[in-house]
Structure 1
Amino acid sequence: MKFIFTLIFTLSCLQFTYSQDFRFGKVSKKELLEKQHPTDSTADAAILYREMKTRFEYSETDDFYLLTEVFERVKIYNKEGFDWANKKVRLYQSSGSSDEEISGLKGYTFFLEDGKVKDEKLRNDGIFEEEVNEFLEVTKFTMPAVTEGCVIEYKYTIKSPFVTNIDEYRFQEQIPVNKVEMRFAVPEYFNYKMHQKGWVPFKIKEDGQTRSMYFNSSASVASGFGGVRQNTRTQRVEIEYRENSYEVSMEQVPALKEEAFSGNINNYTTSLKFELSYTKFPGSSLNMFTTTWEDVSKSVYDSNAFGDQLKRDSYFDDDIDNLLSGISEPTKKMIKVYEFAKGKMNWNELGGLFTQEGTKDAYKKGSGNAADINLLLVTMLRYAGLNANPVLVSTKSHGIPLFPTRNGFNYVIAAVENGNNTVLFDATIKEGEPNVLQPELLNWQGRIVREDRSSSWVSLYPSKHAVQSTMMNLAINKDDYSITGSTQNRFTGHYALSQRKSFINAKEEDIRKKLEENNGETEISNITFENLKKLYQPVSLKYDFENFDAVEEIGGKLYFSPLLFLAMDENPFKLNERSYPIDFNYPVKDRYIVTVDIPEGYTIESVPESAAFALGENSGMFKYMINNLGGKLQISVEFALNTATMPAHDYGNIKEFFKLMIDKEHEKIVLTKA
């Protein structure tokens, strides 16, 4: 009976999909009346239909170019889904005259009024253009009159001269996708590789047809007696060619649910990417495009805005000579140059694989993008006699480079190689230290490129744990059952970097408010930091606190969890299963020692049992020990994650590990009156 009900429900959902009219402007009353998604009641919105069609066109002025038509219909179920009414369209720009352009942008918001379907048109005041940098512009639009239950739809066309850079076709989102269709049609002269991504399977239908294109051909023709005069004759020429097409159609694509420690969720969405492999035009030889990581690395290095910048040093040599006078030890040289570059240069908050100012001009200005600063650092380190090279990086927000392409990287850092040891540097952040990169850069691997154009992968993840050590003393007030106490904290590695970035220039009141966040009814005072501005030393933090809601009095007995705000509030892992890796950013080790003074007139009735358990063979561990020291209780906790990332198939074990840990941290001590 249950099977029959499930089958009927599934067929009804499919019938609903098939019966919909997906022509632009044909939104139905049934779509507007839908209160929740038929297969995902938690969805705030849903893609009812998405269509992406790309084809090549030819003109004698523009040569071959791409036209991509996009049409999308979205159902908004509640206020949390309003963000889906905001759209960004990325338009790439070149240094020449050819840029991507958007045209034919139209949109409507549909809603019910007195039982009738009404609409509101997207107008110019809802469309905005933003220049992100010299290579990227963004067209933003916000759909009008968005309300709970409405349906929005929009369409536009993008004209692009960049036939080597085909935008990824996305079939999955963080909301359900009822139906999605794509078509990519390409002349036989262009050969593309296809890269599938994500965990929802799909098939690619390949087909083809004959098409024609026309252009004017001019030729000189002799005329007159003896062919003395030369006339130019222009004729219209037709060329037939095969157009290859690739189509994908999917229905009922489930949402890719995001939760804690996801990294960039877009790395795992189901999608299709086309990469130009080669071109072969009639009468011309085969023209190969980038096909290996070695080719990518070499092409980047040979760019004027990259490798050529590493050849220049005369503008800073006096400064570096003075800086390193009397210093011969390589490690000291490395740190001196790194700190000099950080102090000299100011980052303009722009990433970039290639320089914006050029290293020489950036040095004179004292500012630049990430490539200006870190290629300058490489040049300085080489001048100092160190084996320094640039490392190509893709930031987390940019995604993981899964196949060889220059577009896979958008940032560059510096590295010094010494045998098997590689030290990584990013001089854009003042609080940085060697091998302590900002979390946005901790994205799997970077590609180190050497002067001889050889290249190899290097892990971006730190090998050392970020360590937090905390000693806390607390006492219970018998009158109002409040808790007073003090803590001493010590942070190293990425924990120290986080403290410095959060507090190094913060006002005292802002520091207090930030420390009190998510700590319940806790008031903090007498805050003291040490080594916030002194790099290469652990950051120390001391403060006193008073808590008013941690102790519960029932029948003359006192119940409380001794870790207070040190305990994790809830399990960050909530999904039944997860199809993408767990990204903790970096290995961590937390150590807490909490000493509880037993209030006069009370004795210990019960305490949590000591416990220890592991995650995998050596992925993580948790220890909880409690000792009665006579008038005091001492709780010792140690938690460690030994690897920055863990595979999706370990998700169940990770979720259970965190559940056991959190349950143990929240177990209560019970005191009774003597």
Structure 2
Amino acid sequence: MPAFKEEDYMLAPVNFISSINFELRTYFDPSGPHTNYAKKWSDIDMDLMQEKDFGGQIKNKGAFKDILPGIIEGKENKLDIAKSIYYYLQKNIVWNDFLGKFAENGIKKALETKKGNIADINLGLVAALNAAEVEAYPVIISTRNNGIPSYIFPVMTDFNAVICMAKIDGKDYLLDASKKFLPFGELSLSSINDRGRVIFSKNQSDWVTLANAVPSKKSYNIMAKLDSTGKMKGTIRAQYNGLDALIKRSEIDSYNTFEEYEEKLVEGVSSIRLMSSKVENLEEVEKSLIEVMEFEMDMRDNYRGDNFILNPIMYDRTTNNPFKLDERNYPVDLGAPQIEVFNINISVPVGFNLSNKPKDSAMTLPENSAKYTFRSIFDNNILLLQQTTTLNKAIFTPEEYFHLKEFFSRIIQQQMTDFQFKKI
């Protein structure tokens, strides 16, 4: 058999490798009685709702009796009430990194000890929302690395975690209060795995698509000035939204101090020297995460006095194509639509003209699934460059793979061409 080759932006390999899986259906006891294990969804729904560590937690509204009035004080509409409860649990119970469909300690103990597994937190969220008269239900899911659950037969072992769905003013919100820095109504990449099962009651459940409506977006605004000695100074202002903001916030939080993060950031950027950096809205997760960096760059190797070359995309440039296979027989799953924007303004010394530059470029994939634009202007000693890369959907089929691979290949080629300046 040919080897299965993994690549970026894919779900668990188990989804795409042919296999036959068996689950025990019935056990016949020699003395006569027999037990059925393979069940219908209605059986599973009933078992979950009767289970103390699942349905019992959802019914435990009493755990919030004393604290709920303070959490929702001053909140008038149901969306604001739901957000207050969500962020309270997110900030006051630390996820212990354990998954599971069933509560480990229960919401009451999780509130007391301020930690719990994913079910402690999200089943507690369902209970708290219902206690505040916000319609909410548990959603059992299989995380991204665990494989897609079977749609043909109800298999409980396919599911390894639980999140929450709130119905507010005719709109469904998927919520996971276990993940630090995750905004209300968004899911982390690990939870975006095709579909989950909403448990409405003891005899009713249904599939729900696991997806983020908010695109994953990075915007870079670079302002810099090149002096006559070949030294450049400037500012990089990076703005992150959606999954990119979650990833960046989690990265910063993984260090003991912001100074440690700065040191690692400096090590990871070889072409420029970071002088200082600061972050805005680290804890305010519904706002864009903003990072501002002051930098210096020595261009003397490319600066000859009467001419010099410059590549303006000096930070977070795409240098490697994530798609390398000749043929990919499984989808490209990004988790969310993606947008990347560069706006660059570089002032060059007086007396230089632009002698050669990359051609302006625009590419669009079929059905507008992806788009790339590259535009530059040199006027009054200022080089202006705008580059935008947009992937308008989260999932690309195997049939679209070649186009996507070629799309990124051409972006990399475009970015490798330098701007050349000569003295007048």
The two structures share one fold, judged by TM-score above 0.5? yes
Asked if residue 456 in structure 1 is aligned to residue 206 in structure 2, the reply is yes
1:405 aligns with 2:149: no
Task: State the partner residue of 1:486.
Answer: 235
Query: How far is the alpha carbon of 1:453 from its aligned partner?
Result: 3.7
Separation (CA, whole Å) in 2 of partners of 1:374 and 1:581: 30
Residue of structure 2 equivalent to 1:495: 244
| Among candidates 91, 102, 107, match of residue 343 of structure 1 | 91
The aligned residue for residue 80 of structure 2 is: 332
Partner deviation per Cα, 1:405-455 (whole Å, 9 max, x = no partner):
111111111110236521122111331211222221121211111135422
Per the TM alignment, residue 280 of structure 1 is displaced from its structure 2 partner at its CA by: 5.9
1:454-533 paired onto structure 2 within 5 Å: 454-479=204-229, 481-504=230-253, 506=255, 507-533=257-283
8 Å CA contact retained: 1:504, 1:533: no
Instruction: Report the counterpart of residue 61 of structure 2 in structure 1.
Output: 313
Return the index of the structure with the highest Cα Rg.
1
Larger RCO (alpha carbons 8 Å, 6+ apart):
2
What residue identity is the alignment partner of 1:489?
A
SS at match of 1:595: strand
Indicate how the Cα distance of structure 1 residues 408 and 558 shifts in structure 2: closer, same or farther if over 3 A, else same: same
Contact 1:482 1:551 in 2 (8 A): no
Counterpart code for 1:589: I
Report what 2:329 is aligned to.
Answer: 579
1:621 equivalent to 2:371? Answer: yes
Specify the alignment match of 1:415 in structure 2. 165
Question: Which letter maps to 1:618?
Answer: N
Tell me if structure 1 keeps the 8 A contact 2:311–2:419: yes
1:360 deviation in Å? Answer: 2.5
Alignment of 1:106-125 (within 5 A): none
- Cα distance in 1 between the residues matched to 2:326 and 2:357: 32
For 1:13-24, list aligned pairs within 5 A: none
Structure 1 pair 662–335 and aligned structure 2 pair: CA distance change class (3 A): same
Query: What secondary structure is seen at the aligned counterpart in 1 of 2:250?
Result: helix
2:141 is aligned, of 382, 385, 393, to 393
Residue identity opposite 2:102 in structure 1: F
Which of the pair is proportionally richer in strand?
Answer: 1
Kept after mapping to 2: 8 A contact 1:499/1:532: no
Which residue is 1:304 aligned to?
Answer: 52
Give how far 1:554 is off.
Answer: 7.4
RMSD: 2.4
Change (3 A) 1:298 1:607: farther
Q: Distance in 2 between matches of 1:550 and 1:590?
A: 30
**3-state DSSP class of the match of 1:314?**
helix
Shift of 1:359: 2.3
Displacement after TM superposition at 1:279 (Å): 5.0
Give secondary structure in 1 for the equivalent of 2:20. strand
Change (3 A) 1:476 1:543: same
d(CA) in 2 for partners of 1:299 and 1:572?
44
Q: Note the alpha carbon deviations across 1:565-623, whole angstroms, 9 max, x for none.
A: 23201111111111222121222211110012122332110222221112331322111
The answer on whether the counterparts of 2:101 and 2:161 sit within 8 Å (CA) in structure 1 is yes
Within the alignment, does 1:665 sit opposite 2:415 as a pair?
yes
Secondary structure of the corresponding residue to residue 354 of structure 2: strand
C-alpha offsets along residues 43-81 of structure 1, whole Å, 9 cap, x if unaligned? xxxxxxxxxxxxxxxxxxxxxxxxxxxxxxxxxxxxxxx
CA offset at residue 338 of structure 1? 0.9
Structure 1 position 656 matched with structure 2 position 403: no
Q: 1:605 aligns with which of 345, 349, 355?
A: 355
Q: Which residue of structure 1 aligns with residue 122 of structure 2?
A: 374
| Structure 2 letter corresponding to 1:361 | K
Judge conservation of contact 2:227–2:348 (CA < 8 Å) in 1: no
Matches within 5 A, 1:267-306: 267-278=15-26, 288-306=36-54
The alignment partner of 1:566 has SS state of coil
1:259-289 per-position Cα deviation (integer Å, ceiling 9, x unaligned): 2222323332232211334456789587544
| Residues 490 and 541 in structure 1, CA contact (< 8 A), matched pair in contact too | yes
Contact 1:290–1:296 under 8 Å retained in 2:
no
Q: Which runs of 5+ in 1 are unaligned?
A: 1-252
One-letter amino acid of the counterpart of residue 315, structure 1? A
Q: Structure 2 vs 1, CA of residues 607 and 436 (structure 1 numbering), >3 Å: closer, same or farther? A: same
As a proportion of its length, which structure holds more helix?
Answer: 2
Quick check: 544-553 or 268-277, which moved more?
Answer: 544-553
Which residue of 2 is the match for residue 428 of structure 1? 178
* Distance across 2 between alignment mates of 1:335 and 1:551: 54
Measure the CA separation in 2 of the matches of 1:549 and 1:256: 44
Identity across the alignment (%)? 26
- Corresponding residue pairs, total: 421
1:545–1:539: structure 2 CA closer, same or farther, 3 Å change rule? same
* 2:406 partner SS: helix
- Note closer, same or farther for the CA distance 1:512–1:362 as it changes in structure 2 (3 Å cut): closer
Q: Which residue of 2 aligns with 1:639?
A: 389
Correspondent of 2:190 among 427, 440, 445: 440
Query: Shift of residue 651 of structure 1?
Result: 1.1
Amino acid at match of 1:662: I
